[in-house]
Structure 1
C-alpha cells in the first residue's frame, strides 16, 4: 500500500508546476469495497454494545490501523432486523480531542436523523488521523472506505446510496473521500472544513507538529499533497451534491458568552473555503455555500450547519 502511495506522490511531484492550473487530478481509488481488496477480508467486528434503542457501538479489529477502533451506528426509527435498501450517512469528526462520540454526545444528531431513511455511521478517525492512508503510519482511508463498508453495511441493510459529512478535519475527510472514491457518495458536506492544506504549508505543518505529528509522515513531501487536497481535486467531485459552510472567525450569535476571542483558525479556514468554492464553481460543480459571517470554530455553528446540510445530504425522495 505504501509503495502505491509513494508512486502516486512521485507522479504528483513531477506533474506539479507550482500553480493549481498545472495540478493533475488524483488517481481514482476503488469506489466500493470487495472481499479481495486490501485488508477488508481480514477486518472483523470483535464486539457489539447496545448503547440505546437506536445506537450500537461496534469494536472493529482493523489490520489497516493495526488495532481496534470504535464505530457508532445509529439505525433509523423505522429500521427492522433483516430490512434492506437503507441509505448510509458517514459522519467524520474533527481533530485534536474528543473523537467520534463528539457527534453524538449532545443528542442533537440523533434527534435530527431519527425519521430519515439512513443508517448513520460514525467512525473513529484518530485525534490527528487526517482521513488518509499515511505515507508512514496507519491507513485510515482503507479503514473507513474499504474495511468498514464491507463489514457494517451488510449488517444494517445499507443499499448503494451514501452521503458523508464532517467538521474541521472531518470536512477535509468528507470532500477528500468523495473526490478519491468517485461514485461512492452522492452528497458531501464540509462544516468549517480544512479544504486547502497547501494554502499555508509551513503554518499547517507547524500546527501538526504542535500535536506531535510530522506532516511528511502523513502525506510525504509537500510537492505531493495535491493528491489529497480538496481544493486541488474539485473536478473529482463532479456529480456530487456539495454543501460548504464557514464563519469569519469573529464571535457571533451562537457564542455562549460575551468577550469570546476571535477565532483565527476559523478565519483561516474561511479563506480556504472561499478558495475551494471558487474552484468548484469554475468547474461547474453543484455546490451550496453557507458563509454565514460572524462565527467561531465551535460546535454550535457546526450543528447548525449540519441541520442546514441535511436536505442536501439526505433529501426526502
Structure 2
C-alpha cells in the first residue's frame, strides 16, 4: 500500500483528516520565529540574542548550522541561584521538556503551571523549539539530508552550547507530549547515556503500529504544505528509517532507564468539555499499550504506565501527567521532588 509515493489526492485527504483532529484538540500555531542574520553561520550553534521574558524565564535566540543557519528560540526556566554571570562554573541538573505538534518553545509555560512548580526550582528546564511538525528528527529529504536536522540541533549543537555557557549539566532527563513524547523516547533511545530517564505524555509511541497510525503521521508530516516523504521517506521503501524512529522498535535501548508512559483512550474525560472525543488519542493509546508490552517483553527494569480512560488529547491531562512523573524524573536526577 505504501510502496509508491502517495498521490496528491490521497495526501490531501490525509491532511484534511489530521488537520480536523488538530483543530479540535491542539493549540493554535505560534507566531513565526525570527530568522537568522544574512551570511554564513558559524559551525554549530550560537546565541545571537537573550531576552528575559518573566521571572526565571530566559529566551535564547539560537542560530543553528543544523537548521541551515536559521535562528530559533529556546526557553530556559532557570533554577534558584542561577547566575547568568557565572554560567561556566554552574552545572545544574537539567530537564528537557519537549513540545508537541502545532506548539512551540513557549507551549509548556503558556499552557501549564510548570513555571510555578516548586519542585523545579532546583533544576534547569530546557524548552527548545522543534518546529510546527519537526518530529525531533533529522529529515531524510529524499536521501539528501540537511535542513531541518532537529535531532542534531538538540542533541549536539544546543546541548553543547547550554553545557558550555548556560549552566546546564550532564545530568539530564527528558519528557514531552504528543510529538514531543515521541521525541523524548527517541532521544533517550537513540542517544544511550544522554538521558537518565524519559517520560511521554500521549506520545506517538509506535507509528508503524498499523495503517491508521501510518496514515495519521503522514498527514502530520504533510502539514503546512510539506512533502510528507521528506521526513522519514516512504514507510515501505525506507522502512529501516521509519523503524529507527519508532520507539517500539527501539525498546531494547530503553530497558535500562526509568520510562513513564501515559495516555488517554480518546473518550470524554473529567478534564474535557462535554462531548469531546479524540481519534488521535485513541490511536496513541493503542500505540502506547504496544510499546509498554514490548518494553516488558525485553525486560524493562523501571517502567511506569498510566493508561487512563476516559481522557482526550489536551493540556489539562499533560499538566497532570507531568506532575505525576516528576518524582521519577527528579529522582533520576538525584533531586528531591
Using the TM superposition, give the Cα deviation of residue 156 of structure 1 relative to its aligned residue in structure 2, in angstroms. Answer: 2.9
TM (norm. structure 2) is 0.78
Using the TM superposition, give the Cα deviation of residue 209 of structure 1 relative to its aligned residue in structure 2, in angstroms. Answer: 2.7
TM (norm. structure 1) is 0.82
Gaps of 5+ in 2: 1-40, 142-146
Q: Give the structure 2 partner of residue 68 of structure 1.
A: 71
Aligned pairs for 1:171-210 within 5 A: 171-199=181-209, 200=211, 201-210=214-223
Q: For the residues of structure 1 that align with 2:167 and 2:216, how far apart are their CA atoms? A: 44
For the 8 Å contact 1:40–1:146, the answer to whether it is kept is: no
Q: For the residues of structure 2 that align with 1:60 and 1:218, how far apart are their CA atoms? A: 23
Aligned pairs for 1:155-166 within 5 A: 155-166=165-176
**1:277 is aligned to 2:305:** no
**Per-residue CA shift, 1:75-130, capped at 9, x if unaligned?**
112333535231111111100x2312111114501112565421000000000100
Q: Give the structure 1 partner of residue 319 of structure 2.
A: 303
For the 8 Å contact 1:166–1:191, the answer to whether it is kept is: yes
For the 8 Å contact 1:77–1:114, the answer to whether it is kept is: no
**Per-residue CA shift, 1:172-197, capped at 9, x if unaligned?**
10000110000000010000000111
- In structure 2, relative to structure 1, the CA distance for the partners of 1:40 and 1:280 (3 Å cut) is farther
**1:123 is aligned to 2:128:** yes
Q: For the residues of structure 1 that align with 2:91 and 2:295, how far apart are their CA atoms? A: 31
Q: Give the structure 1 partner of residue 329 of structure 2.
A: 313
- In structure 2, relative to structure 1, the CA distance for the partners of 1:294 and 1:157 (3 Å cut) is same
Count of paired positions: 276
Gaps of 5+ in 1: 1-38
Q: Give the structure 2 partner of residue 254 of structure 1.
A: 271
Using the TM superposition, give the Cα deviation of residue 240 of structure 1 relative to its aligned residue in structure 2, in angstroms. Answer: 1.6
Q: For the residues of structure 1 that align with 2:82 and 2:207, how far apart are their CA atoms? A: 39
- In structure 2, relative to structure 1, the CA distance for the partners of 1:48 and 1:245 (3 Å cut) is same
For the 8 Å contact 1:76–1:113, the answer to whether it is kept is: no
Q: Give the structure 2 partner of residue 234 of structure 1.
A: 251
For the 8 Å contact 1:77–1:115, the answer to whether it is kept is: no
- In structure 2, relative to structure 1, the CA distance for the partners of 1:228 and 1:40 (3 Å cut) is farther
Q: For the residues of structure 2 that align with 1:267 and 1:236, how far apart are their CA atoms? A: 26
- Give the alignment partner of residue 58 of structure 1, picking from 54, 60, 66: 60
The SS at the match of 1:151 is helix
Using the TM superposition, give the Cα deviation of residue 155 of structure 1 relative to its aligned residue in structure 2, in angstroms. Answer: 2.4
